[in-house]
Structure 1
Amino acid sequence: MADSNSNEVLYDFPPMLRVYKDGRFERLWPIEFVPASVDPNTGVQSKDVEIAPEIGLSARIYVPRNADPAKKLPVVVYFHGGGFVVESAFSPLYQKHLNALVAEANVVAVSVNYRLAPEFHLPIAYEDSWIALKWVGSGLDKWIQDYADLGRVYLGGDSAGGNIVHNIAMRVGSENPDGIHLRGAFLNCPYFCGKDPLLNEETHELMPKSYLDNLWHYACPSTNDCDDPLINPGMDSKLSGLGCKRVLVHVAEKDVLRGRGHLYKEVLEKSGWDGQVEIVDVKGKDHVFSVFFPDSESGLAMLKKVASFINH
């Protein structure tokens, strides 16, 4: 006889994931793959690399058209979004986003394909991202050797990837890895949370606070609560040790995470951190609008802002 709980839903995380009481889960958001290529629109070239094959950690590297070993370029280590449970560095969405970013900013980019929950619960994604950053610093890859200036390294990411950016920048500050000079970090609609609600979090139509809280606990079952410093940077007593001096945060007016982005700026400034943080609040837009609509007016404006931030 079938288990009566087999189709009972424990958590629903539309449009990403559904979790059943018997432990099964199904990804509602397919993990798609497109091959590395030369992009016909931008001339950006990409290739895939294995960083740690023994754990299945890989990345996609991008170089702009007319890259020249005589003129080394800044490096962006990028972490995709997807709530720690969906998406990929190799998906059509991120292939298009990274092609556009690399062309606009004239940088080398390394888009990290960290492992996902629930197969690999947090902190695995953080560990994978740290291994990837150290691999970039090792200079083992030919494109990085030829085109990258490791004295100008930036971290970037959206949503859960923005959360990873913060946590990796914190680790840079505490461990100072060889070969990496971290100049700055940009966070697009970062996924942060906290026990106490902000603004309209509890009543947001698409992703209320209960959604954010449950997703965090599901991705990171070892956590105590949503005031864990990994998801609520304001609770980190070592926040002043963030490992770069410049931070750019984008938030969107309709995004439930908007208040968290503003709070991040506030707690950074109050922490004693010796750096500069800027926030850009985009009217009328929703969560990670620039990733989903990179050719829109607001998406293009954001790319230009990030390019300016990197090439400052």
Structure 2
Amino acid sequence: MPDQTAAPHLTPDPYEYLHIIPNTDGSIGRPEEFHPITKASCDPTQDVISKDLVFNQSNNTWVRLYLPKKALDSSSYTSKLPLMVYLHGGGFIILSAATPFFHDFCNTMAADLSAVIVSVEYRNAPEHRLPAAYDDCVEALHWIQTSPDEWLRDYADYSNCFIMGTSAGGNIAYHAGLRAAADIDHFKPLQIRGLILHQPFFGGSERSRSELRSNDPVLPLFVSDLMWGLSLPIGSTRDHYYSNPTSGDDPKKYDLIKSLGWRVMVAGCSGDPLVDRQTQVAQIMENAGLEVVTKFEEGGFHGVDVMDPSKTKVLLVAVKNFISLSSKST
């Protein structure tokens, strides 16, 4: 998490703020001391066990699977568990499925939701600019449907699948969801029931009111600008549809999601500088006829639900209810 003590009237170097180093070849360095990772764990004393599996050796992309340990006891669970495909945040340029607070978040999610979680390690920009992360998410969905892994085969309910992402991961969930809806027959036996966009990272060339009034410690504007500059296709503005879903908006793009009966949840907080964009996208989807559930808390900051365990618990109560209702409605 970035240093929150920087004076608000100054504009620090965004590279220094994020503890990353620009390289002459256009890549960035991510020093391990500032970007730690944690290993998966099959510790028998824990409520949730996890493991890593590669789905594309060439791209070095993999997933971390999380399974509630009680699922191993057939007397505890008589039916298979919902399947959650999760995309972590980091502005497309930093962090990982193995970042400690995302690992802890997925552990809690698996336990509280009684679900199998598949956390996707997608490629980061600027080494791999968008749409690489979208490609990786779609590839992970294809991998899941054919994987011989026993945790997925024996415990995951493929007919009850959700795609969820936080921040940049919420953006990926949105775009990968649109792709999946357009090619749904190729994902069988996976049946996607809904999308959960948690503080999704959307942008635009014109500052929103929430961006202008924000003094967010995690995502100040100069950091957001750098993230878009490093992740969007070279030469693109923040009004590219990867960043701004409302740019040249065509409501018909949601027709497939509507026809499939997917529900959408958009969650965030008023203290997030991106809240205006999040509520705008939610409203556009609702106007297009989608069933949209919104959950916006007062205060907070970008990423608060991941970094504050008490907020995590509150969010997951709403997510669990969304899963339950979505499972019954389709």
Which TM bucket (shorter chain)? 0.7 to 0.9
Matched, 1:142 2:150: yes
**Secondary structure of the structure 1 residue equivalent to 2:126:** coil
* Contact map agreement 1:255 1:286 (CA 8 A) in 2: yes
Please give the residue correspondences for 1:46-125 in structure 2 after superposition, counting only pairs within 5 Å. Answer: 46-67=50-71, 68=74, 70-125=78-133
What's the CA shift string for 1:237-274, capped at 9, x where partnerless?
2432463621111111211011111111111122x24x
In the TM superposition, what is the alpha-carbon distance from 1:71 to its structure 2 partner? 1.2
Structure 1 counterpart of 2:253: 239
**For 1:263 and 1:41, how far apart are their aligned partners in 2?**
44
In the TM superposition, what is the alpha-carbon distance from 1:16 to its structure 2 partner? 5.4
* Contact map agreement 2:205 2:238 (CA 8 A) in 1: yes
Structure 1 counterpart of 2:18: 15
Tell me how many residue pairs correspond in the alignment. 300
Structure 2 counterpart of 1:160: 168
Calculate percent identity across the aligned residue pairs: 32
In the TM superposition, what is the alpha-carbon distance from 1:70 to its structure 2 partner? 4.7
In the TM superposition, what is the alpha-carbon distance from 1:37 to its structure 2 partner? 1.2
Q: Which has the higher helix share?
A: 2
**For 1:279 and 1:40, how far apart are their aligned partners in 2?**
37
* Contact map agreement 1:75 1:148 (CA 8 A) in 2: yes
CA-atom RMSD in angstroms: 2.5
Structure 2 counterpart of 1:278: 293
**For 1:301 and 1:122, how far apart are their aligned partners in 2?**
32
* Contact map agreement 2:210 2:272 (CA 8 A) in 1: no
Alignment gaps of 5+ in structure 2: 1-11, 326-330
* Contact map agreement 1:233 1:239 (CA 8 A) in 2: no
Structure 1 counterpart of 2:328: none
Q: Name the CA shift for 1:28/1:34 in 2 (closer, same or farther; >3 Å).
A: closer
Aligned structure 1 segments of 4 or more residues deviating by more than 6 angstroms? none
Please give the residue correspondences for 1:179-194 in structure 2 after superposition, counting only pairs within 5 Å. Answer: 179=188, 180-194=190-204
What's the CA shift string for 1:51-85, capped at 9, x where partnerless?
11122111100111221485111100000000011
Q: Name the CA shift for 1:242/1:81 in 2 (closer, same or farther; >3 Å).
A: farther
Matched, 1:178 2:187: yes
Structure 2 counterpart of 1:3: none
Letter in 1 for 2:204: G
**For 2:21 and 2:172, how far apart are their aligned partners in 1?**
23
* Contact map agreement 1:78 1:111 (CA 8 A) in 2: yes
* Contact map agreement 1:197 1:209 (CA 8 A) in 2: no
Matched, 1:201 2:216: no
**For 1:245 and 1:40, how far apart are their aligned partners in 2?**
36
Structure 1 counterpart of 2:321: 308
Letter in 1 for 2:121: N
Alignment gaps of 5+ in structure 1: 1-8
**Secondary structure of the structure 2 residue equivalent to 1:186:** strand
Letter in 2 for 1:77: V
* Contact map agreement 1:32 1:88 (CA 8 A) in 2: no
* Contact map agreement 2:26 2:127 (CA 8 A) in 1: no
In the TM superposition, what is the alpha-carbon distance from 1:208 to its structure 2 partner? 4.9
**Secondary structure of the structure 2 residue equivalent to 1:311:** helix
Matched, 1:264 2:268: no
Q: Name the CA shift for 1:284/1:203 in 2 (closer, same or farther; >3 Å).
A: closer
